A = this chain, B = another copy of it.
Amino acid sequence: MSEPRLDSLPAAIETAGDYEAHAATRLDPVAWRYLQDGSGKGLTLAANRRAFEAASLLPRPLVDVRGGHTRLNLFGQTLAHPIMLAPIAYQRLFHADGECASAMAAAAQGGAFWVSSLASQTLESIADASRQTGDAPWFQLYWQGERASTLRLTRRAEAAGYPVLMLTVDAPVKLATLQLPGAVQAVNLERPLTADPPPPNGSPVFDGWMARAPTWDDLAWLRDQLRQPLILKGILHPDDAEHAIRLGCDGLVVSNHGGRVLDGAPASLDALPEILARVAGRVPVLLDSGIRDGRDVFKALSLGASAVLLGRPYIWGLTSAGAIGVAHVIRLLRDELEMSMALCGCKTLADLNMSQRGHAA
C-alpha cells in the first residue's frame, strides 16, 4: 500500500457530502452506480433518508458539558466513538489501498472497522494495517453455503486477531451485480458465493440461491462453534430479534443493507423502536443504513441504538483520498456528533435519550 499523504485531501471539504461530490468525479460511472444505487425502484434507499430527515434534535442550551466525550464499550472492546465502518465488499474498486486504508483510518480514529467476507485484500494484511495505527478490525461473515467452509473462514479471522464476528443475513441473495475488474477479487473465499444449480423444474431462487443461505439451525450451530462475540446483522422484525437473542447472539444490527437488497423494506430507523422495545436492553442494538452525517448518528443513538454502521460516506472518502479521506470522514461525523451532543446538552452517550429528541421536523 502506498503511503497516504495529507496533501492528497481535496480542497474545501466541510462535510462527508463534499466527498460524495468529489468521489463522483473520480470513479467510473459503473462502479459509482454500483456504490450509490439502491435496488429496485430505490424506495428503501429513499425511505432511509426520509426517516432521518423526519427525526429532529432538540437543543438544550446552558448545560455544562465540559469534559464531554463519545467513548463507549461494546462487545468487550473500547471505542473512542460509536461510528463504525460497515462491511463493504471489494474496496480496491474504490482505491488502490483498498480495505487496508479503511482499516488504518478506523483504527487511527479509535473506532471499529467491519471487514467484509468479500474483502479484496487478505484478512491478515488488513489486520496488520489496522494494528499499525490502533486496534484490530472486526470481521463480517457471509455464510459460505455450508457449515465446514463457513467455520474455516471464521477460524481464519479469529487466528488473524479479529475479536468480534458479525453474521450478515440481510443479503442471502446477491442482487447488486458488477463485473469485477480482474485485479479485484474476494481473495479470502475458498470458492465464489454462487447459487446451487436448481434441480429440474426447481426454482433458481428457492432451490438455487436459498439452498445456500443459512437458517436458524445454522445460526445455532455457528454460535456453538465460536468463542468470540457473535453479532447478527439484518434484523427488522422484533420476533427475529427475540429468536437471535435466545440462540445466544451478543448483539443485533437493524439493517436493510443500505437499501441494496429488498426494495420495499422499511427504513432501518423506523424499524428500530419496536426492536429496542422487544430487546429491552438484553444485548446492544446497532443501526445500519442511511447514516450520512453526525446528526444522523445522534438521532439513531438518541432512539436507543448503541452504535451505528457507516456505509457509502466512508467509501466517498476512500475514493477521494484513501486512508486520509476515510479518517477525515470519520472525524467530520464525529465532530458533528459532538456538536449535536453539546448543543443538546449531552456530555456522554449515556445522556442521549428520548428527552433530547424533538418533534418530527
A residues engaging B (CB < 8 A)?
15, 17, 40-41, 43-44, 47, 53, 55-69, 169-170, 172-173, 175, 203-207, 209-211, 213-219, 234-237, 240, 243, 256, 261-267, 270-271, 292-293, 295, 298-299, 335-336, 338-344, 347, 358-359, 361
Identify A262's interface contact among B43, B59, B170, B265, CB under 8 A: B59
Q: Is the CB of B59 within 8 A of A299?
A: no
Chain B hits for A336, CB < 8 A: 40
A210-B66, A343-B173 known; A270-B359 Cβ under 8 A: yes
Minimum CB–CB distance from A155 to chain B (whole Å) comes to 22
The copy count of this chain in the complex is 4
Determine if A203 and B40 form an interchain contact, defined as CB atoms under 8 angstroms apart.
no
A240 touches B60 (CB 8 A): yes
Are B210 and A342 closer than 8 Å at their CB atoms? yes
Shortest CB-to-CB span from A283 to chain B, Å, is: 17
A299 to B40, CA, bound (A): 14
> Binding site of A, secondary structure by majority: helix, strand, loop or mixed?
loop
Determine whether the beta carbon of B169 is less than 8 Å from that of A264: no
Q: Look across to chain B and name the residue whose beta carbon is closest to the beta carbon of A340.
A: B262
Give which listed residue, B69, B173, B240, B265, contacts A358 with CB less than 8 A: B265
**CA of A295 to CA of B339, assembled, Å:** 34
Known contacts A40-B295, A43-B361, A56-B266; 20 additional CB pairs below 8 A are A40-B336, A58-B265, A62-B216, A63-B216, A64-B217, A67-B206, A68-B206, A68-B210, A205-B342, A206-B341, A206-B347, A209-B342, A210-B342, A262-B343, A262-B344, A263-B295, A264-B295, A264-B340, A270-B359, A271-B358
> Is the beta-carbon distance between A62 and B240 smaller than 8 angstroms?
yes
Interface centre among A43, A66, A205, A218 (most CB of B within 10 A): A205
CB distance from A24 to the nearest CB of B (A): 17
Closest to A292 in B: B41
Residue of chain B at shortest CB distance from A14: B177
- Tell me whether A262 and B57 are in contact in the complex, defined as CB-CB below 8 angstroms, given that A211-B66, A339-B173, A343-B172 are known contacts: yes
Q: A56 to B293, alpha carbons, bound, how many Å?
A: 26
Point out the residues of chain B lying under 8 angstroms from A217, CB to CB: 64
In the assembled complex, the CB of A190 is this many whole angstroms from the nearest CB of chain B, namely 22
Tell me which residues across on chain B come within 8 A of A57, comparing CB atoms. Answer: 262, 264-265
CA–CA, A206 to B68, complex, Å? 5
Bound CA–CA A354/B295 (angstroms): 34
Minimal beta-carbon separation of A316 from chain B (angstroms): 15
- Compute how far the CA of A80 lies from the CA of B295 in the bound complex, rounded to whole angstroms: 41
Nearest B residue to A215 by beta-carbon distance?
A: B64
